A and B are shown apart, each in its own frame.
Chain A
Amino acid sequence: MFVVCRSNSSSFRSVVAATRPCFSCPRFPPLIAIPTPSSSIRFPPLRSFSSPRQITRMASKVAQDQQDSRLERISSAIRVIPDFPKPGIMFQDITTLLLDTKAFRDTIDLFVERYRDKNISVVAGVEARGFIFGPPIALAIGAKFVPMRKPNKLPGEVISEEYSLEYGTDKMEMHVGAVQPGDRALIIDDLIATGGTLGAAIKLLERVGVHVVECACVIELPELKGREKLGDKSLFVLVKGAA
């Protein structure tokens, strides 16, 4: 498994600037790790007459190294289970990531750093593993969390969108009134494979007038070409895996 962190949209630069704490409320401790003097990150020596551009570049490089080591840890925390749910499928299991407190926190931090200043008002999480990553991100960036669920789980009035599976179809539902026209949304799932589920989520949100800013997943399986089902929406992932 190799590690990358990119988006196919040029409007999002994925350089991580030097981190700063994100306090929406005094009770919330900073989610973002701030390097301490005892950390293993080495700051390159600053020459006495460094230009602002050089300093920015050096800070970017340090930040990039920090980010790479976070991604490496995240990637190694994910385990692959062969032949699940059926022979031939290499299942990417994120539950081991959830057992590594630092890696899980870093995962959330990486998403929060990217989306915190993008005026996202809705984080839509796809059942069920999207429910694990979505709410912590929503809480940190001040957005609502909206679950996108399998049929007959959400009580009250819903709208649904059908999508294709390898064999047959499935349906995804969202509550009527959970989102408003003009809301800016981020869609979260643990993994994108064929893109069918995410494609359905995009359609559901757009049907009610929401602007889908981006789709975000921990893992992408590029061989399955999921990006093609996302239309003009960009995709941001932390890690890529083999199908």
Chain B
Amino acid sequence: MFAEENGLKGDPRLQAISQAIRVVPHFPKQGIMFQDITTLLLDHKAFKDTVDIFVDRYRDMHISVVAGIEARGFMFGPSIALRIGAKFVPLRKPRKLPGEVISEKYALEYGTDCLELHVGAVQPGERAIVIDDLVATGGTLSAGVKLLERVGAEVVECACVIGVPEVKVMIYYLLAGAGLLESHFMFLLSRVKQTNFVEQYQKVAQQLSCSPSKMRLHF
């Protein structure tokens, strides 16, 4: 699931990519440690390496569709698509895509949201990957996978720059719950560093004078 467990262990590029990502505490609200990839985009070498690693992985898998989730998936998806000779298909929030679309609802912490895909953008039988900057609960990615499968595409893999380790179990559960195959596993370049994560988590809990177990982390 994580790149370092998938043949990229010790790859120096991964460390630089991880270090280029900055954490912004209390965004979008108190208690949330936001993983900000914009600093990665400012580091040309790290950004290029990120794209290279995804391209190396998918180049020979006969992928014809790279689906990127609005909006940070748009920052990584097209470069990968161009390099592997695939189409880029944006998966968007409601009412952004003109013309005929299909939609898929998914759960948020409070309430629901919706992802849309253009009718006709993807043909049955196409092999697709879904890209986003980060996976937390997996809700958005699941919606993306469902949309593609509804039009008959085969989702080969989901790929994100960042994954949260604790979420691994949740993702399998979510995907299994939706009746999707286990092959929709995640390829993730960077984990939120375990030790930093715990420290940050505890520090914020201290500041908020609440028990860490009462805090929920979202990215």
Contact = CB atoms under 8 A, between A and B. Distances in A.
B88 interface: yes
Interface of B: 22, 24, 27-28, 34, 36, 38, 41-44, 47-48, 51-52, 70-72, 74-76, 78-79, 81-83, 85-90, 92, 95-99, 118, 121
A142 B82 contact: no
Sort chain A's interface into a size bin.
35 or more
Interface in A85-105: 85, 91, 93, 95, 98-101, 104-105
Contact of B47 (A31, A104, A139): A139
B89 A99 contact: yes
B97 A95 contact: yes
B82 A105 contact: yes
B98 A128 contact: no
Given A95-B121, A128-B71, 8 more contacts: A99-B121, A135-B47, A135-B75, A135-B78, A136-B82, A138-B47, A144-B41, A144-B44
Contacts, number: 111
Nearest to B88: A98
B79 A156 contact: no
B47 A145 contact: yes
Given A131-B71, A147-B41, A101 B87 contact: yes
A156 B86 CA distance: 34
Contacts of A139: 44, 47-48, 51, 79
A136 B38 CA distance: 15
Contact of A93 (B27, B81, B99): B99
27 contacts: A25-B52, A81-B98, A81-B99, A85-B98, A91-B98, A95-B90, A98-B89, A99-B87, A101-B82, A101-B86, A101-B87, A105-B82, A132-B78, A132-B88, A135-B47, A135-B79, A136-B79, A136-B82, A138-B44, A145-B41, A145-B42, A146-B38, A146-B42, A147-B75, A155-B34, A155-B36, A156-B36
Contact of B118 (A95, A146, A147): A95
Interface in A107-151: 108, 127-129, 131-133, 135-136, 138-139, 142-147, 149
Contacts of B47: 135, 138-139, 145
Interface of A: 24-25, 27-29, 31, 79, 81, 84-85, 91, 93, 95, 98-101, 104-105, 108, 127-129, 131-133, 135-136, 138-139, 142-147, 149, 152-156, 175, 178
A154 B90 contact: no
Contacts of A101: 81-82, 85-87
Given A131-B74, A142-B44, A178-B38, A27 B52 contact: yes
Contacts of B36: 155-156
A156 B41 contact: no
A85 B99 CA distance: 10
A156 B78 contact: no
Given A95-B118, A139-B47, A156-B24, A132 B74 contact: yes
Contact of B76 (A25, A85, A135, A156): A135
B198 to A, nearest CB: 21
Contacts of B38: 146-147, 154, 175, 178
